[in-house]
Amino acid sequence: MYRYDEFDATFVRQRVAQFREQVARRLEGGLSEDEFKPLRLMNGLYLQLHAYMLRVAIPYGTLSSRQMHKLADISVKYDKGYGHFTTRQNIQFNWPELKDVPDLLDELADVEMHAIQTSGNCIRNVTADHFAGVAVGEVEDPRPVAELIRQWSSLHPEFTFLPRKFKIAVIGTREDRAVMKSHDIGLRIVRNDGGDTGYEVHVGGGLGRTPMVSRLIRAFLPRPDLLNYLEAIIRVYNLIGRRDNKYKARIKILLHETGKQEVTRLVEKEFDQLKKQNDAVSPAEYERIAAYFQDPAYEDTDFNLDAFDEKRKQHPQFNLWLNSSLSEHRQRGYSIVTVSLKPIGGIPGDASAEQMHGVATCAEKFSLSEIRVSHEQNLVLPFVKKQDLFELWQGLKKLDLATPNVGLASDIIACPGMDYCALATARSIPIAQDISNRFADLERQHDVGELKIKISGCINACGHHHVANIGILGLEKKGVEFYQITMGGEAGENTAIGTVIGRGFSGTEVIDAVETLVDTYVELRQENETFASTYSRLGVTPFKEALYATA
Amino acid sequence: MPLLKDGRIVEDHWQFIGDDDDIPVQGDIVVSFERLKNSIEILVMRKGYLGVRLDNDADAHDLAPYINNLALIALEFPAFTDGRAYSQARLITTQLNFTGELRATGNVLADQGVFMSRCGFDAFEIDEHQPPHLWLSLANAMSLAYQKGYRARAGFSPRAVVASRVG
Amino acid sequence: MQILTANRLVDGDVVFLTGNYDWSIEINDASIARDQTEACRLEDIGTKADKSAHVVGCYLVDVVIVEGRIEATHYREIMRTKGPTVRGDLGKQANVYGSGGLRSGQSPLAAQNHHEVQQEFAHVSL
């Protein structure tokens, strides 16, 4: 994985020193809150319901064991012994004190991490496929280009006060595991007929109040042109994106109101100018970065299938875990293991310091000291030898991290909701916990099969409810929480926005409602049909009838 | 508003002339873009330098026909969180190749000084509560930047952004 | 009835304006405005306090008095006076109920069950 050179290290240290000075000026009264707020947000620091919250970037979702150990230590030293992994490959600490944040950031810098641009109306932490570098059928590892964009966008002088936040995701496969089409810019690495590597450029995706799927504005952008093209897109957006209404300020609205054709024309025109005036991406710089993401030295493993099958028979729980946690690795003898951060009845995405240390140690033993963070709020061990799977499972089980539910009903995405978030209109976590408890029977979950339940505690949709099989949105009506259900959303290659299926439910009713929807699917499904495919075959009607008929 | 230029407070010899005011015979004046368009013949005949104030929703390319007549362009930050003028400044200095005074007006704060300078501003109408030494110490805080093409204009700070490397 | 609340600048903790024009982390120390004039006075204090380097984001909150104790009426504000409903061991509620959790003798896992916590919120009919 990428390692900071002296330039990167100095840059981050200077940034911390600068923030330390800004915090001091704020505490002494030299900066007003209005002046300080955008500065602290650009360093990832929010003021939430009960305390400050620091959002730390995990660029393109890749962490070393050393970094994970540090996150655990930080959670104990500056927080309350846990962290929360988010839907955008960040980790959030919920209780740091303002006066301690500069020290915390210095400790992050010790392990080449930062919180730069994890908030604010700027280019946010660049995300990528969490299976990058090990996924089957990958054109190219998306992380070198994500790192290039991370560097290019860090404290970009022109793009630090955009109309609204700006999110970029990069993938290198046909399958989309990064919700690429729900980003302001989504890049997919492709190869053209001439064998050159370039990018599909998708613009204008986003969730929130007005969810939209991005539009393809360039089918092939050669690699050397990437940064000039990004600069052109963001400059056009900065100049003519709306600023009169924060709910209409994302680039998706510009695309919608001005039209894809006109926006594309403006971008291409600006790009032509920039090409004349700026350097292209230097191959040497790209190669310097890419060198950090070379394949590791894979070993020929002496995997004994018979012994393995015997273990599966002896340990049904192990078998169940294998069935839900494993993804195909491009290297023979290896597996990609997803570590569930969704224990039954637990808080989605939360990990205690002990669990973080534990995963870091497991990665040291079994995954070349590398960990990934997925937008589905789980962790991934990308380099596990098949022969080590049983031992890994035993290790994870001790940490309460071996729940065999990845991709199933209780693998729920949930934003922090009103339990923590100052913007929330309702709680999300308790709903996730109750659904999880309702489906506590894992055999039943495996029978139900793949199911994406996602919960947001307000219209900003951090919990991705628009792109779920069953999406839940928490709102307030007359001083009481209530929950709307959407169906038909999808987050992958065929991203689709779900639609609200009817009147909302109380926090208790919504759990029954979800179960009714699942039971309806089980009743109506044909052989090998997932929830999503049954829904697309039958539409919303039978589900609606089941939910509302008796009412 | 004190005017910060070349790292120190300088006297502002420019006079803003409203759209309904008479145009003085001499002296350096700044007019609105409307007035510039409508009265360009008169404006170029008079003695004294000419400047323009451009609204932050205007297309900077529209200045192209007049750029050689201008010695000052003032851009506005209605709130420091409204960053349109950064892109305008960039267009004016890199595509219209303007080399005169590019002035930041409005809610102009020291914490954004380096960003402004790197986008092409070289004069700042600053807040009285933020003295020049604060601007300079903040400018010196970051000596590195990733964006190669965005160099701070001369005179802003001796140390700001001495190295850069990406696109 | 209303009280003035904010977050403390230095650590973000939820605080309430007291009768001594001081800020307390305990809601029962709060100065209560019982009419419009009083509420306006609190609001003015808030506007001034927002410019200080002591608290952030002052606003008025509706409260009632239950058995001699001040309680917020909206669920958001109830949570601010207690802590996350899913972590009874954290926030102000942890201090009230002791570090062991929401109620003594309760296991951490049970404390995570929001129904337990919801009983604390019963009077707002969650």
Q: Does residue B74 lie in a domain region? A: yes
Q: Does residue B148 lie in a domain region? A: no
| Per-residue confidence (pLDDT) for residue C96, from 0 to 100 | 61
Which has more confidence, B150 or B166? B150
Tell me the fold of A6-110. Alpha-Beta Plaits (3.30.70)
Instruction: Name the residue in chain B with its Cα closest to that of A237.
Output: B84
- Which pLDDT tens digit goes with each residue over B16-53? 999 999 999 999 999 999 999 999 999 999 999 999 99
List, by residue range, all CATH 3.30.413.10 domains of chain A: 127-291, 413-548
Q: Does chain C reach chain A with at least 3 CB pairs under 8 Å?
A: yes
Model confidence at C113: pLDDT above 60: no
> What is the value of ipTM here, to two decimals?
0.94
Q: Please, which pLDDT band fits residue B166 given cuts at 50, 70 and 90?
A: low
Q: What is the rounded average pLDDT for all residues in chain B?
A: 90
Q: What is the rounded average pLDDT for all residues in chain C?
A: 82
- The whole-angstrom separation of Cα C78 and Cα C76 is 5
- C51, C56, C85: residue with CB nearest A47: C56
- C7, C51, C74: residue with CB nearest A47: C7
The length of chain B is 167
| Per-residue confidence (pLDDT) for residue B143, from 0 to 100 | 83
| Per-residue confidence (pLDDT) for residue A91, from 0 to 100 | 98
| Per-residue confidence (pLDDT) for residue C106, from 0 to 100 | 34
Model confidence at C107: pLDDT above 70: no
Model confidence at B142: pLDDT above 90: no
- A21, A157, A161: residue with CB nearest B150: A157
Taking domain A127-291, whether its CATH number is 1.10.630.10 is answered by: no
> What is the domain count for chain B?
1
- The whole-angstrom separation of Cα B80 and Cα B58 is 18
Chain B contact partners (≥3 CB pairs within 8 A):
A
- The whole-angstrom separation of Cα A441 and Cα A436 is 9
- A51, A429, A430: residue with CB nearest C12: A51
- Which pLDDT tens digit goes with each residue over C49-89? 999 999 999 999 999 999 999 999 999 999 999 999 999 99
Model confidence at B155: pLDDT above 60: no
CB A429 to CB C86 under 8 A?
yes
DSSP assignment letter at A232: H
> Who contacts A198 (Cβ-Cβ below 8 Å, separation ≥6)?
A189, A190, A191, A192, A220, A221, A222, A223
Instruction: Note whether A124 and A167 are within 8 A (CB).
Output: yes
| Per-residue confidence (pLDDT) for residue A349, from 0 to 100 | 98
Q: Does residue B166 lie in a domain region? A: no
Q: Does A5 touch chain B (CB under 8 A)?
A: no
Taking domain A413-548, whether its CATH number is 3.30.413.10 is answered by: yes
Cβ-in-10-Å burial (0-12, 13-18, 19+) of A194 comes to exposed
Tell me the fold of A305-398. Sulfite Reductase Hemoprotein; domain 2 (3.90.480)
* Phi, psi values for residue A480, rounded to 5°: -130, 145
DSSP-derived secondary structure for A54-76: EEEE-GGGEEEHHHHHHHHHHHH
Q: Does chain A reach chain B with at least 3 CB pairs under 8 Å?
A: yes
Q: Does residue B151 lie in a domain region? A: no
What is the span of the domain harbouring residue B127?
Answer: 3-141
Q: Does chain C reach chain B with at least 3 CB pairs under 8 Å?
A: no
List, by residue range, all CATH 3.90.480.20 domains of chain A: 305-398
| Per-residue confidence (pLDDT) for residue B164, from 0 to 100 | 57
Give the mean pLDDT of C23-29. 97
Q: Does residue B44 lie in a domain region? A: yes
Contacts of B116 in chain A (CB under 8 A): 157
Per-10-residue mean pLDDT for chain A, 551 residues long? 93 96 95 93 96 98 98 98 97 98 98 97 97 97 97 95 98 98 98 96 96 98 96 98 97 98 98 93 92 95 87 96 97 96 98 98 98 98 97 98 98 98 98 98 97 98 98 96 97 95 96 98 96 97 91 50
Q: Does residue B84 lie in a domain region? A: yes
Model confidence at C116: pLDDT above 90: no
Q: Does C76 touch chain A (CB under 8 A)?
A: yes
Closest to A513 (Cα-Cα) out of A477, A473, A480, A456: A473
